[in-house]
Amino acid sequence: MRTRTLYLFSSAAPPVFDIAHVIEDAQADGWDVCLGLTRAAARWLGDSLDGLAALTGHPVRWDYKLPGQPDVWPKADAILLAPATFNTINAWALGLTDNFIVGVVAEGIGKQIPTVTMPCVNSAYVQHPAFERSVETLRGAGVTVLYGEGGFVPNQSGTPVAYPWRLALDAVRGGSYDPARGDHTD
């Protein structure tokens, strides 16, 4: 039986510093993990990128491959984009694919790859009218957006909050997610 492949994508938000543990948890769930980052997240993780590549067994990517280059990752069975910043959510909803992970998740909608995202935004950002429209656009396109009651709840600017990584991993695993109740079942 082939191992299922998870594309784990992350933006530059504080929960990205937990990514090694998230990879290990996803691997314990049976996933072959490929890690993709925004350029800013790659800068944040800097010296740990080689270790993360060793952990996953795949190169960490933050940029598109050049034409004619082979793809170095297996095809995705599922995608998890977390933490997803305000910029990432809005760019994705608008189809602005100038960054690698947004390009892949935008294409993933058309390829019907099961995709889960969980924002990491503060309460000031979510007051901008584009954010709620972007969340609704992504949900309308079939993306599971773990935001609000039962998902990620925005924090006050400058106030750290525990990021519910397990919630995201459970959702991508395929357990059903009920946002009204905030729970999963297998």
Q: What is the pTM of this model?
A: 0.91
The pLDDT value recorded for residue 150 is 87
CATH number at residue 62: 3.40.50.1950
The pLDDT value recorded for residue 157 is 77
CA dihedral 31, 29, 24, 90 (to 10 degrees): 70
Secondary structure (DSSP) of 22-60: HHHHHHHTTEEEEEEE-HHHHHHHGGGHHHHHHHHTS--
The pLDDT value recorded for residue 23 is 98
Token pair recorded at residue 36: 């993709």
Handedness of CA 96, 102, 106, 107 (dihedral sign): positive
Report, as ranges of residue numbers, the positions in the chain whose pLDDT lies below 50.
176-186
Give me the half-sphere count of Cα atoms (radius 13 Å) on the Cβ side of residue 147: 28
**Residue 32 structural domain:** 4-66+74-185
pLDDT digits (tens, 9 = 90+) for 50-59: 999 999 999 9
If one counts the domains in the chain, the total is 1
The pLDDT value recorded for residue 1 is 58
